[in-house]
Amino acid sequence: MSDIHVLAVARLSPLFMPQLQAAFQLHDRLHETDPEALAAVAPRVRGIAASADSRVGAELIAQLPALEIISVMGVGYDGVAVAAAKSRGVVVTHTPEVLNDDVADLAIGLMLCAARQLPAADRHVRSGEWARSGAMPLARKMSGARLGLIGMGRIGQAIALRALAFGMSVAYTARNERAGLAYRFFPDARRLAEAVDYLVVITPGGAATRHLVNAEVLQALGQGAGRGILVNVARGSVVDEEALIHALERGVIAGAALDVFENEPHVPERLRALPHVVLAPHIGSATAQTRQAMADLAMANLLAHFSGRPLPSPVPECRPES
């Protein structure tokens, strides 16, 4: 396959790049660095290698007349113009399943950090404040609390399973109620937020879910006696960041724990200044084991396509009809 040309459209993982370089004629981000060079090679580019944060728009797809596949190393693909790809017969693949455990683990970790204020506790000791001022204010208990999940896909179900071990009740909202699940279903995010102590966002990004968590939902989350805590391990676009900051500053909700943001890696100073907010730099799948599995699956999709074999993990819109 060394004669097949593939365009990398992002700064790809060092676990993915060597595999691509060994198998294909790889062109690294020419669309950003050298448009003339891209124009010269465009008629031969048959594949795109992307990350979950990549932007692969209809314009770029139109520039590549020989394009056959877009392989995303990540579960999210909201930056890919899937409809434009499908109209050209270009298949899109991603890497689901392999990162379920890591993202679910992080969601539970962020919930604990927000509830027990673990980052603030660490700062309290390191700064010498413990010796100067004594104990921190009391935190809140997580075990036995009410968990609400916005999204009940593979990762949502993995989070729910972990929450049960903490004795939490689980409820959710999603596009449709999931058959066979014992968890309580709510028809929309606002009504779910009214009924829970922790609201975890784990739904796909994109236009359909943009600002799904808005001021109204945050107000509903804050109506309980203990006021709720928001956790986002999905996409920054799902939460109205300005509304969230406003709710936190006014004490509408008790706190938040965020792994994703609207304009990554830029996080608003007002959000960074809030002591009761836990912030992480989009590390949901960031373990060596999972990132290797993601790279291997992204590579397997490319190799399968160019060998004429069934694709391991096409995105839902590109799955063959059974």
Known catalytic residues? Answer: 235, 264, 282
104-141 burial, b at 16+ Cβ within 10 Å, e below that, comes to: bbbbbbbbbbbbebebbeeebeeeeeeeeeeeeeeebe
Separation CA 115–CA 122 (nearest Å): 14
Helices (H), the chain: 17-23, 30-33, 35-41, 58-62, 82-87, 100-116, 118-126, 129-133, 154-165, 189-194, 215-221, 241-249, 269-272, 288-307
3 state SS of 99: coil
- Quote the distance between the C-alpha of residue 267 and its chain's center: 16
Q: What is the DSSP letter of 311?
A: P
- Residue tagged 């006021």 (tokens): 227
Which residues is 45 bridged to in the sheet?
A: 5
Q: Are 80 and 92 in contact (CB under 8 A)?
A: yes
User: Residue 15 and residue 31: Cα distance in Å, rounded?
Assistant: 22
Tokens 């960041």 sit on residue: 241
